[in-house]
Chains A and B, each alone.
Chain A
Amino acid sequence: MMLKIDNLNVHYGAIHALQGISFELEKGEIVALIGANGAGKSTTLNTISGILRPREGSVLFQGQPIHEMPPQEIVRKGIVHVPEGRKIFPRMTVWENLEMGAYTQSDRATINRDIESAFERFSRLKERRNQVSGTLSGGEQQMLAIARGLMAHPTLLLLDEPSMGLSPILVEQIFDIIQDINEQGTSILLVEQNAQMALAIADRAYVLETGKIVMQGSGDELLENPSVIEAYLGGH
């Protein structure tokens, strides 16, 4: 078991944001968390990556509890979180952002090779390597955020709303890239509002509603589940 979340309870002040959620992710899987705004999807990722602390419950990564570790150590364990809204460093160049992604890496030759392979995968970024990244388009920023995340050699990649604000063509591209990353051996926990796309590539998925998991199943099962269609796929 790569990731095991057990009875996770997280509070923001008086708000009980996660109310005892439990789920699992096997090595090599893409698992999607879908749900409406405010359901607790981002809170879940922020708790796994150590930005938030649970009041109750545990997060086990490869059998080891990580819910009391500071975020910088969780990164070193192999969990990389690509946050919602890309959160690239806007006043740094594309190249510097990639260097920041490799912050935990110490071998210069590996870092340089990783930057080259990031540029191979995202050729737009190569053209703009010395551009200040705040001036990139939304799609380019999302690609930079993912490329930056890969620089740390994650075994588990947490992706928060990678399709947000992107055109349908770009969304397709991003999801192709996600599948490609997964095929090369990285497990992925994907949070998405675009349930259609997320369920299409996910091995399994969990549906979150107001801090609780209300449904789970394989991606295909949920795509055909009437109440999922009703609530998240905008159809009948």
Chain B
Amino acid sequence: MENKASSHLLKYGRLVRPVAGTLIGLFLVWRLFTVLVIERNFSADTWVRFGLSGLILGGMYALIAIGYTLVYGIMFMINFAHGEVMMLGAFGGYFTFELLRYIPAATPENPDLNFLNAHPIISVILAFAVGIFVSATVGFFLEKIAYRPLRKAPRLILLITAIGASFFLQNLSMLAFGPQRKNIINPDILDRGTGWTLTISGNPVLISYTGVFSLVLSALLMIGLYILVMRTKLGRAMRAVAQDKNTAYLMGVDVDDVISKTFIISGVLAGAAGVMWDIHMGLVNHYVGFLPGIKAFTAAVMGGIGNIPGAMLGGMFLGILESLGPAALGIDFQLKDVIAFSILVLVLIVRPSGILGEKLSEEKL
């Protein structure tokens, strides 16, 4: 009897994916058809605006997602505190701007001038330097203090530790910086309302300097990371540790050192994303890393966790889907988070290995 019941379960279990896939597919086609063909509430300029903000957001998600994927690739753990690493980098950028705003740099023509506006380029570079330094340092010590002692522990324990570290860092910064949201005041030339204006179907579309800056910087950092991983000795050692840790030891690789450096690199990218968040989004508090962190994790899973180009692609894709999704499906804009997490659930049901996911080898499982 038991056997029969379980064989029924197996039979229906196999139907879950195609049935769920078809139902969701039909729902999406119906919604898209209604919105794009029947209702047509939005004109082209609106779609371009959504698309642009999606790209910019996607760049930040991608930078954070790479951190998840690098760490997973090398030690098969999900570093759920990674969003908090980004948040602390964002605070680093915020405090740099605040500090520079109080340094006077008066000129005869402009007695009220401060350093931030007198030297905007240097200020932005300093903000990135501080934010990146903070995140890289936090990443380094996070691994050293919280994860390294658990190197031989079961993976579930590491996962729970990471969630604990996430709450710890979040609450620590609430304690240190207060719970209220802080506005980030950019140098005037990077004011969030300035930029180039395009005219699309008779309406102006603002392409903000901060957005273009963020997008270009994300792209450069991703290219830089790709070169690091594919072309340098450290990158090769990282890939070697990811593919076969024991054999990496036999080549003379100091595996602990490579793991430390992987956390530092992840921190650098998260710190850069944090300062971009400052400059483009303009708000920071202790909670600002949590949702982007989980969404970047979603992006990394969507691209195939452990796969670097997958994380980049997944991040961009998620940013765009999240921006276009509510409009395209004709649902409330506040439901954009629902779209992101529905995607996570969908990917896990339909293709757990992700878009570019490699088949997990047995030693990874």
Q: CA A202 – CA B236 in complex, angstroms?
A: 36
Contact yes or no, A92 B250, CB < 8 A: no
Contact B240 A100 (CB under 8 A): yes
- Bound together, the chains give a CA A91 to CA B243 distance in angstroms of 8
Sample 17 A-B pairs with CB under 8 A, ordered by A number: A50-B249, A70-B249, A70-B254, A72-B249, A83-B250, A87-B246, A89-B239, A89-B244, A90-B243, A91-B239, A91-B358, A92-B240, A99-B233, A101-B251, A104-B251, A104-B252, A148-B251
How many whole Å from A110's CB to the nearest CB in chain B? 14
Contact partner of A152 (CB less than 8 A), chosen from B233, B248, B252, is B252
Residues 231-273 (chain B) with a chain A CB within 8 angstroms:
233, 236-237, 239-240, 243-244, 246-255
A residues 60-117 with Cβ under 8 Å of B? 70-72, 75-76, 80-81, 83, 87-92, 96, 99-101, 103-104
- Does any Cβ of B come within 8 Å of A51's Cβ? yes
Q: For residue B255, which residues in chain A have a CB less than 8 angstroms away from its CB?
A: 72
A71 with B250: in contact, given A92-B236, A96-B236 (CB under 8 Å)?
Answer: yes
B196-251 interface (Cβ within 8 A of A) = 233, 236-237, 239-240, 243-244, 246-251
CB of A49 within 8 A of chain B? yes
The 3 closest A-B pairs by CB, nearest first: A75-B252, A104-B252, A71-B249
Pairwise interchain contact B236-A99, C-beta atoms closer than 8 A: yes
When A72-B254, A89-B239, A92-B236 are in contact, do A83 and B249 touch as well, CB less than 8 Å?
Answer: no
Which A residues touch B240, using CB under 8 A? 89, 92, 100
A51 touches B236 (CB 8 A): no
B237 nearest CB neighbor, chain A only: A103
- A contact residues around B237 at 8 Å (CB): 100, 103
Residues of A with C-beta under 8 A to B243: 89-92
Residues of chain A at interface, number, CB under 8 A: 25
Complex CA distance for A81 and B246, rounded to whole angstroms: 11
Interfacial chain A residues near B246, Cβ < 8 Å = 51, 83, 87
Contacts of A81 in B (CB 8 A): 250
| Residues of chain B with a CB closer than 8 A to A50's CB | 249
Who on chain B is nearest to A76 by CB? B252
Q: In the bound complex, how far is the Cα of B77 from the Cα of A100, in angstroms?
A: 25
Q: What is the bound-complex CA distance between A148 and B240, given in angstroms?
A: 13
CB neighbours (8 Å) of A101 from chain B are 251
- Chain A, residue nearest B257 (CB): A72
Q: Which of B233, B239, B358 contacts A103 (CB 8 A)?
A: B233
Query: A91 to B247, alpha carbons, bound, how many Å?
Result: 14
Interface residues on B, range: 10 to 19
A149's nearest neighbour on chain B, judged by CB, is B250
B244-A103 in contact (CB<8A): no
A90 to B246, CA, bound (A): 14
Contact of B253 with A72 in the complex, beta carbons under 8 Å: yes
How many Å lie between the Cα of A235 and that of B272 in the bound state?
Answer: 69
Interchain nearest-CB distance for A61 vs B (Å): 15
Residues of B within 8 A of A99 (CB): 233, 236
Q: Which residues of A contact B239 (CB under 8 A)?
A: 89, 91-92
Of A51, A90, A91, A100, the contact of B251 (CB 8 Å cutoff)? A100
Query: How far in angstroms is the closest Cβ of chain B from A99?
Result: 6
Least CB distance, B273 to chain A, in whole angstroms:
27
Nearest B residue to A86, CB-CB: B247
> Which listed residue (A80, A90, A91, A96) contacts B250, Cβ 8 A?
A80
B247–A87 CB distance below 8 A:
yes
A90 CA to B239 CA, complexed, in Å: 10
A89 & B247 in contact (Cβ 8 Å cutoff): yes
A51 to B250, CA, bound (A): 8
Chain B contacts of A83 at CB under 8 A? 246-247, 250
Whether B236 lies near A75 (C-beta < 8 A) is: no
Q: What is the 8 Å Cβ interface bit string for chain B, positions 31-60, against chain A (1 contact, 0 not)?
A: 000000000000000000000000000000
Give Cα distance in the complex from A88 to B248, angstroms.
Answer: 10
CB distance from B108 to the nearest CB of A (A): 56
Q: By CB atoms of chain A within 10 A, which of B237, B247, B253 has the most?
A: B247
Cβ of A51: which chain B residues have Cβ within 8 Å of it? 246, 249-250
Please judge, given known A-B contacts A91-B239, A103-B237, whether A75 and B250 are in contact too, CB under 8 Å: yes
Provide the residues of chain A in CB contact with B247, threshold 8 Å. 83, 87-89
- Interchain CA distance A18-B298 in the complex, whole Å: 47
In the complex, besides A90-B243, A91-B239, 20 extra interface pairs with C-beta distance below 8 angstroms are A49-B250, A71-B250, A71-B252, A75-B250, A76-B252, A80-B250, A83-B246, A83-B247, A87-B244, A92-B243, A99-B236, A100-B236, A100-B240, A100-B248, A100-B253, A103-B237, A103-B251, A103-B253, A104-B252, A152-B252
Interface 0/1 of B95-110, CB less than 8 Å to A: 0000000000000000
Residue from B239, B243, B251 having most chain A Cβ neighbours under 10 A: B251
Query: Could you say which residues of chain A place their CB within 8 Å of the CB of B250?
Result: 49, 51, 71, 75, 80-81, 83, 87
What is the bound-complex CA distance between A136 and B236, given in angstroms? Answer: 20
CA A170 – CA B50 in complex, angstroms?
62
Q: Name the B residues within 8 Å of A100 (CB-CB).
A: 236-237, 240, 248, 251, 253
What's the minimum C-beta distance from A150 to chain B, rounded to whole angstroms?
12
| Chain A positions 26 through 45: 1 when the CB is less than 8 Å from some CB of chain B, otherwise 0 | 00000000000000000000
How many angstroms between the C-alpha atoms of A75 and B252 in the bound complex?
5
B249 closest partner in A (C-beta): A71
Name the A residues within 8 Å of B254 (CB-CB): 70, 72
Enumerate chain A residues within 8 angstroms of B236, measured Cβ to Cβ: 92, 96, 99-100
